Amino acid sequence: MDLSFATHILPKFRPGDVSCMARAQVKLNDAGWMCDPAGAAGFPDHANARRVFGALSKGIMPPDGPWSPDWIATYQQWMDSGFNP
């Protein structure tokens, strides 16, 4: 199953998560930013999404508690299926 950012990932980010991360220039609610194929910060491609995934999978984000393993798996599946907007 192909997952999309708008349907499967964006709804998992709460308004507080979005506003908190916006201060750090992380645009959790912006499909263009999250699905950008550019590499950076040690990632060969899709650096924005991969950096967010790293924080989520380490439990660093969101600050009030980690995502469930199912949510992390969904994010991984979204990346594996091509970072569809």
- Cβ neighbour number for residue 77 with a 10 Å cutoff: 14
Q: Name the residue range of residue 51's domain.
A: 5-80
The residue written with tokens 């999978």 in the block is: 57
pLDDT of residue 40: 93
Read off the pLDDT of each residue in 47-69 and give the average, rounded to a whole number.
96
pTM of the predicted structure, to 2 decimals: 0.94
85, part of any domain? no
pLDDT band of 30, cuts 50, 70, 90: very high
Q: How many domains, the chain? A: 1
63, part of any domain? yes
58, part of any domain? yes
pLDDT of residue 41: 81
Buried b (16+ CB within 10 A) or exposed e, 37-69: eeeeeeeeebbbbbbbbeebbeeebbeeeebee
